[in-house]
Structure 1
Amino acid sequence: MNQAWVAYLPAFLRKKVEGRHELQKVLTNTGWLFGDRLLRMGVGLFVGIWIARYLGPTQYGLLSYAASMIAVFSAIAVLGLDSIVVREIVREPESEREILGTVLTLRLLASFSAYILTVATTLLLRPDDRLSQILVAVMGWAMIFGSFDTIDLWFQSKVLSKFVVYAKNTAFLIASIVRVVLVVIKAPVVAFAAANSLEFGLAAIGLCYVYRSNGQMISHLRTSWTLARRLLRDCWPLVLSSVIFMVYLRIDQIMLGQMATSHELGIYASAVKIAEIWFFIPTAIVSSVFPNIVRAREVDEKEFYNRLQKLYNLLAFLGYAIAIPTTFLASIVVYLFYGEAYASAAPMLVLLIWSDVFANLAVARNTFLMAMNWTRVLLVMTFLGAAANIALNFWWVPKYGGIGAAAASLISYWFAAHGGCFLYKPLRRTGGMLTRALIYPRFW
């Protein structure tokens, strides 16, 4: 049976999707995820800009430093299990309660450990900065609440993301209202850190509710320590890879905070915020198509690679569609969003928006590595990208500040997503596929 929205498509598109129920299900799921991200993009950008204008570059830089520290260590809390869990539930649906229960237990343990490590590292790096220490300690609770995102993986495996959208958007909207109130009453910067943790706490409650409304119960989940050992054995390269990935995703802001000033970091963070608005696009698409790509590998290798090439083509096209106009409009966008105080963020935004093209392709390429269970290859590729980013930041940040950090991100993202594929023979085919996508991107 066709989804209701199919009837409203133009004739040429309707012919492509009519009767293709799996494709319709994927498109419906992707639509919900896009709706979620569009709402967050609109409301989140508006509220975020208001907060940045209110706090000013220096305090906004401090808040961004705390968020970057937490982002790096949150990779430990997540344990890199997302794709593994979806893959295992697709393959063994009869074991889904044991899989989810085990992963939830592991993530709760890992998140508490990550929280302690984050606070300890901040004390080490900024022993005399009491405000940064408090911001990290308050905002770090988001990692613990985030453990309940494990429930989201069940909905992903069923391609039913609309329920997750309900739960997380409700939490997001409540937290956004709180943030607006904080600006109006001129609250201190610590209050905004607390609002971030509040959002994750409300999202955890919402996920438990929608999981129950779909006939599932948290109390029915089981923990298997045998399965836990197997999952940890499979995921440790992903944990390392996720930590390394978050290092090279956020090391620029941490190093700016350490080697430059909080003001410079605030300027740079405003450019990052605009560039990262679009990160939801590859994530939403890949989370919807990943189960079908896994199934294609099981039955038809040619179709498996055909679907991967289409995914690469699409994400390259979307990356260009965003990067090209932003290149010419960066100054206007920064001025309209953040005002004159943040004007120097424009050239940083240009470099960062082009790094998004390669970030898109990295997300798609990682789908291939996960489907092949090449987790160690993913670890090596991510490590090389992180090493390049750290080296370039050490070289350029002291000389060029935020511009140097943005340039380092662009080069290291390209290397980790595309250039590095040609260093490893089994990935050269993938490198060629990515090259074709960059040269001849297509929407369909």
Structure 2
Amino acid sequence: MRYFKNTSWMMSEKVLRIVAALTIGAWVTRYLGPTDFGILSYAQSFVGLFAAFSTLGLDRLLARELVKESEQKYVLLGTSFILQTIGSTILVSLLFISIYFNDNDELTNKIIVIMGLLTFVNSFNIIGAYFQSIVKTKHVVITSIIGLIVFTIIRIVLILNDAPLIYFVYAIAFDTIFLILGAIYVYFRSKQSLFKWKFSKTKAKSLLSDSWPLILNAIFISVYVRIDQVMIKEVMDSESVGQYAAAVTLSQAWYFIPGIIGSSLFPAIVNAKKVSESLYYDRLQKLYDLMVLLSVSIAIAMTFLSDWVVEFMYGSEFYLTGDVLSIHIWAGVFVFLGVSVSKWILTENLQRISSFNLFIGMVSNIILNIIMIPKFGVIGAAFATLISQSISVLFTPLLFKKTRPSFFMMIKALSFTSVLRRVFK
């Protein structure tokens, strides 16, 4: 029950943020228009390309280490904080170098710098990992929800007062700082102290030794999901980025569903493996089937309703967004399946193959964007995402004997053969 309540608080905060993104976030997008929203999205994507250097994979690793070595919590927290601060220094240095060589306007580069400097503040996110390790995220989540409410009110006030783009960037910075100050406050209230944090070279080497595969994966993912918007800006313009980014926001709004389903059903799949292989693979197949049914249903609905949804949420200025959405939404089929595959890979301890799959997806996405954006514009970028997702999730498992069973399960799910057998047996 304690773990369930902890997870429920975390999921509640995520759902609220998604709702805010689809309501107030859509209003902000509509207010800014394609060009200003494109500048903001480009800057966020540009910084996102280097994001792996600021976290160093420690965001995923730290909670586990704090559970294993709770008596070393101050050393773990202090060492992780220093490492992430060094990582943020590397990130900001790379941003300044890239800014020196790019031809962006002054406002775009200013936003990039602000977003980059916020990664130093985000180093304090390790406090969240501490509360996860002791299964007490409630108060941190409450602080986050309060911050979301304040952030929402600020954005509404900015819209009503016809504020320029840079004020919305300051609002994002305020939201980030508010969340961190809230986490620090909760940390002190729980009778902990930042001044007890300690740095250890030995622990730093140990953490980096364990986190380097995560750093690699994070780099692949960062480039994979951000490169399209950066390339659209370089090849086309900020307005095109805005048209595309608005569609991506609506398309990715559904991606919390497979995360919830995967986390909920994962224990049942692991337990089935202990009972028998046949039960294990039967439950996996049912998970794949469910993911395909849900994602295809969403994709079909959004394909037919895309123009209406975009007109309702963003207005007529986003005239290309509906076409992009009707294509990009189908990438969600492979995202849903990818979550299922990741659970299977974790159970089978095949994480290295997962890294290879991400690498192939990243490379294919870059190549396809280089080919398709100059010829087909934002529509080409949407097709590049769809094709690269299918290559990474569906076809790369064919390259390894150990992962081929997953390919055949996905084919069954996509062809609905296993579903039809259950219906008509």
Q: Which residue of 2 aligns with 1:33?
A: 10
How many angstroms does 1:133 deviate by?
0.7
Cα separation, 2, equivalents of 1:136 and 1:414: 31
Q: Which residue of 2 aligns with 1:117?
A: 94
How many angstroms does 1:148 deviate by?
2.1
Structure 2 gaps, min length 5: 421-425
How many angstroms does 1:216 deviate by?
4.1
Q: Which residue of 1 aligns with 2:166?
A: 190
What does residue range 174-253 of structure 1 map to in structure 2 within 5 Å?
Answer: 174-253=150-229
How many angstroms does 1:38 deviate by?
2.5
Q: Is the 8 A contact 1:32 1:165 kept in 2?
A: yes
Distance 1:42 1:430, change over 3 A: same
How many angstroms does 1:279 deviate by?
2.8
Distance 1:166 1:218, change over 3 A: same
Residue deviations 1:28-62 (CA, integer Å, cap 9, x gap)? 44433332223212222222222222222112111
Cα separation, 1, equivalents of 2:74 and 2:280: 29
Cα separation, 1, equivalents of 2:120 and 2:16: 25
Residue deviations 1:108-137 (CA, integer Å, cap 9, x gap)? 2212221221232233232x5222111111
Q: Which residue of 2 aligns with 1:423?
A: 399
Structure 1 gaps, min length 5: 1-20
How many angstroms does 1:94 deviate by?
4.4
Q: Is the 8 A contact 1:151 1:208 kept in 2?
A: yes
How many angstroms does 1:237 deviate by?
2.6
Cα separation, 2, equivalents of 1:265 and 1:441: 39
Q: Which residue of 2 aligns with 1:46?
A: 23
The one-letter code matched in structure 1 to 2:326 is: V
TM-score by length of 2: 0.86
What does residue range 373-384 of structure 1 map to in structure 2 within 5 Å?
Answer: 374-384=350-360
Q: Which residue of 1 aligns with 2:34?
A: 57
Instruction: Name which of structure 1's ranges 69-78 and 431-440 shifts more when overlaid on structure 2.
Output: 431-440
Cα separation, 2, equivalents of 1:352 and 1:418: 17
Establish whether residue 141 from structure 1 lines up as the match of residue 107 from structure 2. Answer: no
Q: Which residue of 2 aligns with 1:71?
A: 48
Cα separation, 2, equivalents of 1:297 and 1:98: 38
Corresponding pairs, count: 417
Cα separation, 2, equivalents of 1:209 and 1:164: 9
Cα separation, 2, equivalents of 1:161 and 1:364: 26
CA RMSD, Structure 1 to Structure 2 (Å): 3.2
Q: Partner of 2:319: helix, strand, or coil?
A: helix
1:386 to 362, 365, 376: 362
The one-letter code matched in structure 2 to 1:382 is: L
Cα separation, 2, equivalents of 1:308 and 1:167: 37
Residue deviations 1:203-230 (CA, integer Å, cap 9, x gap)? 1112223334445443444433212212
Distance 1:212 1:347, change over 3 A: same
How many angstroms does 1:436 deviate by?
5.0
Q: Is the 8 A contact 1:123 1:133 kept in 2?
A: no
How many angstroms does 1:325 deviate by?
1.9
Cα separation, 1, equivalents of 2:299 and 2:184: 38
How many angstroms does 1:315 deviate by?
4.4
Q: Partner of 1:140: helix, strand, or coil?
A: helix
Q: Which residue of 1 aligns with 2:423?
A: none
Establish whether residue 349 from structure 1 lines up as the match of residue 307 from structure 2. Answer: no
How many angstroms does 1:375 deviate by?
4.7
Q: Which residue of 2 aligns with 1:3?
A: none
How many angstroms does 1:413 deviate by?
1.3
Q: Is the 8 A contact 1:140 1:197 kept in 2?
A: no
Distance 1:69 1:164, change over 3 A: same
